[in-house]
Structure formats: C-alpha cells, structure tokens
Structure 1
Amino acid sequence: MAIEPYRRVLALPGVRALLLVGLVARIPLTGTGITLTLHVVNSLGLGFLQAGLVGAASMAGAAVGSPLAGRFLDRRGLRPVLAVTTLVQLAFWCCAPALPYQALVAGAVIAGLFSQPVFGAIRQCLAAMVPAESHQTGFALDSMAVELSFMVGPALAVASVTAFSSTVTMYAVGVGLVGSGAALFALNPPTRSAEEAAQEDSQEKVPRRRWLGPGLLTLLGVASALTFVLTATELSLVATLKAAGATGWTGLVIAMWCAYSVIGGFVYGGLPRGFSPLLLIGALSALTAPLGFVGGGWWWLCLALVPAGVLCAPSLSATVDAVNRRVPAAVRGEAMGLHGMALTIGVASAGPIAGGIVDSYGPSWAFAASGAVGVLFVLAAVPFWRDVRRPAADPVTA
C-alpha cells in the first residue's frame, strides 16, 4: 500500500472540499433513524414496534425515492434536486415533533421519498472529478467517510436526546439537513466530467435496457446482501453482549468494528488494483458466520471481528466502483440511486429477520444465518458475473 494514490486524488481540484462536505452532510442523515426511534419511545410513549414501523416507513420511502432522485439528477442537475428535497426535509422536521403517531408514519414515508441524495450524489460527483484510474482510491475515501459519519451521527443523536429532548434533537436534525443541502447547493460539484458532457451532447438518449441487465441486477442484489450482513451483525453484536452481561461494552465493540473498516478501506484504496466485489463480500460473509460461536468474553469477540471488519469499507467501495464502470455517464445518477436502493433494502430486511432469529434461536445463529445469506447471494451472482463485467454499450451516435 502507498500514500501516493491518496495524494494524487486529494490534489485534484474540488475533491477535498467535496469529501469534507460529504462527510459533514452525512452526519445528520445517519442520525435520523435513531432520533425518530427515541422520539416515538420517549416522547410519544409507544413501544419499539411502533418505533420500528416509523423507521421502516422512512426506509421504504427512501428505497423508492433514491433511483427517482438519481434520474432527475441526470436530467436536471444537482441543484434543482437538492432544492426540492431540502425544502421537504425542512417542512417535515419542523412539523414532526408535533405530529401524532399516524401522521408521523405518513410523514416519514414522504420524507424518505424526498431524501436528499447525498450518498449517491457524492459518489457520482467523485466519479466525474476523479480520473478512471484513480476511482478505486476515490471510492475508498468515500467509504471511509461513510464509516466516520455512522460513527458520529447516531452517537450525537443519542447524546442530544439524553441531554435535552427528542424534540430539540429533531429540530437539530432538521437544521443539519438544511445546512447540508445548502452546502452542497453552494458547492455545486460537477456530476459529469468535461469529456463525458461533450460526449453526451453528441449522443442519443441511452435506453435503460442497454445498461440495466441481469448482471447489474445481480450486482445490486449482492450489494443488498452486504448491508443485510452488516446490519444483522450489528444487531447480533448487541444481543450477544447483552446475553453475556457485557452491555456496557457494546459501544466500544461497535466502535472498534467501525475502526477496522476504516483501516481496511485505507489499505484497499492504496492498492494498485482492486478486487471483485463478489470475492470481498463472499469473504466478509464467510468470516461473519462463525462470530457468534466465539467464547471467552467481549474482548475475544472484539478481536474476532477484525477479519470481517477490515473488509466492510473495501466491499462497499468495490460495489460502487463496479456499478460506476458498468453504466454510461449519462445515467450514472440513476444507477447510483438504484445502488442506494439496494443498500436500503438490505438494511430494512435485516432487522426483522435477524431479530426473529435472535429471539427464536439466539444471537449465535443470527451471525451464522446472515453470513450464509451473504454467501448464497454471492454464489447466485457468479453465473452472471461475465455480464456484469461487460461495459455498457455506447449509445448510437446521433
């Protein structure tokens, strides 16, 4: 591994500002879920089932809205999409503290549908601003920023609810989302390089059937399996430590797991050549399956997380790179939106499935089942991998 690839990427005009704004902009987004959960439980006095339904409603809206936002971004540019989605977030988070439960669920669907496309937009802009030979390093930096956001956002939300109230925290999340949208609106990074824009002007519209084939769909399925495994792992970690009477160490173990991912992403971004996302996700899943059978205390579990943990950020960046290389620049926003939808589906489905396994059979089997699911998805994608590796055909010149 070398530092030079990172120096080259960070020296490119606008890349440092984009990564910094992207890191800060994702923090309020990563805190929305836990904020809504604590509001339903603490302020509305309802159970975790009702809180989970609000989170599921928000995720369902986000899963539908992500590719739609990406498609509008391809057609209209970044600023119009940011303007509309930021205004919707402002309206929801200003009204949400006063909404009754049923209205809060409906509002969560709408807010999810009009989620700010920060994750996909940052990746799309990175693909445009960074040369193709440095995409691996650029997407690795992005994946590390995602990990840092998830380490900070939920923790800040919990601390704010504890110190103040869920109402104050909801207003703070709204201010953060508006600030994020305003910062990206002001920065206005390019969504296509100059060469891609010039080439697009001389070409016809790209038919969806030309780039959205079985290979790309299976790649999106594998990306969904990745977040399924990661979300199930987090839930299983909490359950394992609770069963062992070590709940107080949960924050440290999860923080170490995230740190392993950041280290793995840093190493991966400096490598001269990347790996197949199927290989990375398959290895991560296989290494996750036996975690529940590690004995000896929380410190052994913390050490056992190292092999799978260092593959988290590389696996995510590899899926982003693979999707980016398989679609034309003219539809990159929609493709990144579909990628975001796949990640959201994995997160949303992991909670009830892994939770049911934990309740019925224990956390050890939840680890094993989630790892098996990841391996099965990877094996199912192997026959289509040749199709995924084939670049999308160039549209017919006008």
Structure 2
Amino acid sequence: MTGVDLAPFKHVLMLPGVRPFALLMFFARMPPAATGVILTLHVAVTLDRGYGAAGLVGAAGTVGMGLGAPLMGKLIDERGLRPMLAVGVTASAAFWLTAPLMGYWTLLATSFLVGLLGVPMMSIGRQVITALVPQDRRRVALSVDSISVELSFMGGPALGVVVATKFSTNVALLFIGVSILVAGVLLYWANPPMLHGDEVVDGPKPKLREWLRGRIFGVLVVCVGATVCLAGMEVSAIASLEHIGKQSWLGAVFFAMCAASIVGGLVYGGVKRVPSVLVLLVLMAALEIPVGLGDGNVLLLCLLLVPMNLMCAPLIAASGEHISRLAPPTARGLAIGLQGSAFTMGNAIGAPVAGVAIDRGGAPAGFAIAGVIGLLVAAVAWLLARQRQRVNPLPVR
C-alpha cells in the first residue's frame, strides 16, 4: 500500500450525506446478495426439485434484472426515486413474503417478475453516490461504493445460509422480504438526491442515440467482459474445490477474492494516476488464465486468485465513473441501469461457458476460457472506444 493516499477517502466520507448513505446501502445490499444462495437452497432442498430446477429460477430472476434495471433507471430519470421505490419495494416485498407459499412453477414465473420490477439496489447506490459528491471526487466515492458492495457480498450470503440452516429456507425468504421492505422504506424516507446540485438539467432531454454510442458503449462492453471473467472464475473455483473434495473451503476462497477486491478498491481510490477501464479488464482477464495452476491446492488457488481480484472493485468504480461523465445527467438513471444490465449479461455468459469448458477440461479450462473471452471483449471495447463522440469524451488518464 506504499504510495497510496487514504486521505481522499476520509474527505469523501466527511461530505454531507455520504457516510450515512454508504452505511445504509451496505445493509440494503446484503439481502440481494443473499438471494441467489437462498433461492437455490429453497428450490433444491425444501421443494426437493434439484439444482437444475434451482438454476432455472435463478436464471429467470437474472433475465428479469437484466431487462428491469434500465426500466427502473428510466423511471428515476422521469419521475424521481420515490415513485420507483414505491413500485420496486412493493413488488420485492410481495414476492419474498409470499415465496414460502409458492409452488415451483409459480416461483419460477414470479422470480422473473421480481427481477423485472424489483429495487435495483446496486444501481441506486452508484447513482446516489455520484449525486452526493462533486465530479472531481467521484472516483474515490465510487471506490467507496464498490468496497461496500464487496463487504455486502461477504456478509449477505453467509448470513442467509446461517438463517436457512439454523431455521429453514422459508424463514430465510421471509427475512429477505422484511429486510428489503425496511431498506426500501428507509430509502424512501431519506429520499437522497439523484443529481448533484452543480449539474445543469435545463433544456430538452437528449435522445438515446445522441449519447448511447461509441465510447460509452465501449464502457458497457467492458462491464460485460468483467463479469464474464468473474462469473467464470466463481464457477471454476467451485469446480476446483469439488474436484478435490474441499467444498468446505469455499467460504475461505471467496473471502480471499472479496478481500483482494477491497484492497484493490482502496489502492484505486488512493492513488493519483489510475489505469483505464480497458487496461483493468485486460489485466483481470490475463491474470485469470493462469489461476488454473492452483487446481488441487487450496492455498495456491487462493494466492493465484488474488491478483485478478485486485482489479474487481477498481473496474466497477472506473466504469461507474466514466458512465456518470459520459451520460447526460437527465439520463443517468437509464445509463447506470444499462451498466447493471451489462453486468448481468456478462454473468449469464461467463457461468455457462466456463461450465462447458470445465466439463471438457476441468477447472483450469474454465479459468482459461473465461480469461480469453475477457481479452476478446476488451479488444471489441477498444475498437468501440476509438469511435468519435462529439460530446462528453472519455477521460484519458
């Protein structure tokens, strides 16, 4: 951490509203972070439908989130945060509080609907944090936000598993519903700003084709590539541990991933010169390819996962910073929603592709194919970034 200045984090956290909002979003994101493992356990174990059926429920929710995030973001742009929360919290609470009563097919259909209409906590956090700080401090603020996301993913699934195993998955589903309802009500009451006070929003709203092209599209493609790498990494790590009968070490491996990402976020927010989103994606993808060398050795696997995960939080923060600058303020909700869709798309691509590679060549093949695809996506993003854009050029660092 030599050469890393942590003072900017202190300055950002001292700005009005930042610290309480960051704390609120940390807790608000824990339930969504736990939904995947809770639904999997509920469908596979409580409903006794198996893991394939559980995967379909998860996929339906993922598709819904990919389609719903831009729609909910657009609703924020046009109507404000509170109308979106009224729709999203109602839909989310209704689903999770009645999920214990649902049969499998009802659960499958409604999981898509709650993905479509639910509260996009990840996107809301990124948009509000950009509104609470001036533009020259957004890199640090978004680093704080990305670190908060990692902490939520460290605590949320673990807490969900504890509730599900100590009590039941039905209790865990109700716990998620109550948590989302409380977090949504608190957000509704706080009603944080969605645009910074210095941003000009007068005049007609720009049309979609005027800003969704070239460089901003390239950043969205980078987001796809990043989650292809991350999803492939997770599936391959699970396969590697299962192959040697060390599934009980999965928590330690995921802790190492999240801890590395947090360190990366601290470094990214604390240095003066940072790499571009393209460089971060190339580094992440290239560093994933040799992770398979740790197959069969838990300690070596953890050590090899650290370098690529150092890029995770910085890449999320950097992509959010660029999107907030490239998109017009009046369309920022839609733009950040599209970023969420890009993350979802990459996850939907990376996991099955790595799974096929694992079936044919083991966990090392899964790591390798995810890394290679990440490099190919980076090449596509580089070509898109070279296209001319008349407004809001991508900052060169």
Structure 1 residue 342 and structure 2 residue 342: aligned?
yes
- Superposition TM-score, scaled by structure 1 size: 0.95
Cα distance, 1:140 vs structure 2 = 0.4
Question: Does 162-171 or 267-276 show the bigger shift?
Answer: 267-276
SS at match of 2:192: coil
Q: Show CA shifts across 1:253-284 (max 9, x none).
A: 11011101101101111111332100001101
1:365 to partner: Cα distance: 0.3
1:226 lines up with 2:226 in the alignment: yes
Structure 1 residue corresponding to 2:81, chosen from 78, 81, 95: 78
Q: Distance in 2 between matches of 1:71 and 1:250?
A: 38
1:179-194 correspondence to structure 2 within 5 Å = 179-194=182-197
Letter in 2 for 1:145: S
Equivalent in the alignment of 1:15: 18
Equivalent residue for 2:156?
153
**SS, match of residue 386 in structure 2:** helix
Letter of the 2:268 counterpart: Y
- Runs of 5+ consecutive residues of structure 2 not aligned to the other structure: none
Indicate the residue corresponding to 1:354 in structure 2: 354
How far does residue 222 in structure 1 lie from its aligned partner after superposition? 1.5
Runs of 4+ in 1 over 6 A off after TM superposition: none
Match of 1:105 in 2: 108
CA distance in 2, matches of 1:218, 1:267: 24
In 1, are the aligned partners of 2:77 and 2:331 still within 8 Å (CA)?
yes
Q: Distance between the aligned counterparts of 1:388 and 1:44, measured in 2?
A: 53
Residue type of the alignment partner of 1:40: V
Counterpart position of 1:392: 392
| Separation of aligned partners in 1, 2:243 and 2:97 | 39
Counterparts in 2 of 1:1-398, with a 5 A limit?
1-196=4-199, 199-201=200-202, 203-294=203-294, 297-387=297-387, 391-392=391-392
Kept after mapping to 2: 8 A contact 1:216/1:388: no
Partner in structure 2 of residue 396 of structure 1? none
Taking a change above 3 Å as real, the CA distance of residues 93 and 388 of structure 1, as seen in their structure-2 partners, is farther
SS of the counterpart of 1:192?
coil
Which deviations, in whole Å up to 9, do the C-alpha atoms of 1:185-220 show, x marking residues without a partner? 111110012222xx213x111111111013322321
Residue-pair matches, total: 390
Identity %: 39
User: 2-side partners of 1:331 and 1:233: how far apart?
Assistant: 33
- Rounded to whole Å, the distance in 1 between the matches of 2:280 and 2:105 is 42
Q: Decide whether the 8 Å contact of 1:210 with 1:392 is kept in 2.
A: no
Per the TM alignment, residue 390 of structure 1 is displaced from its structure 2 partner at its CA by 6.1
Q: Contact 1:326–1:390 at 8 Å: present in 2 too?
A: no
Shift of 1:295: 5.8
CA distance in 2, matches of 1:124, 1:274: 22
3-state SS of 1:200 partner: coil
The 2-side partners of 1:68 and 1:295 are apart by: 41
In 1, Cα distance between equivalents of 2:147 and 2:9: 13
Q: TM-score, normalised by structure 2?
A: 0.95
Give 5+ residue unaligned stretches, structure 1.
394-398
Paired residues of 1:144 and 1:262 also in contact (CA < 8 A) = yes
Tell me, yes or no, if the aligned pair for 1:326 and 1:388 is still in contact at 8 Å: no
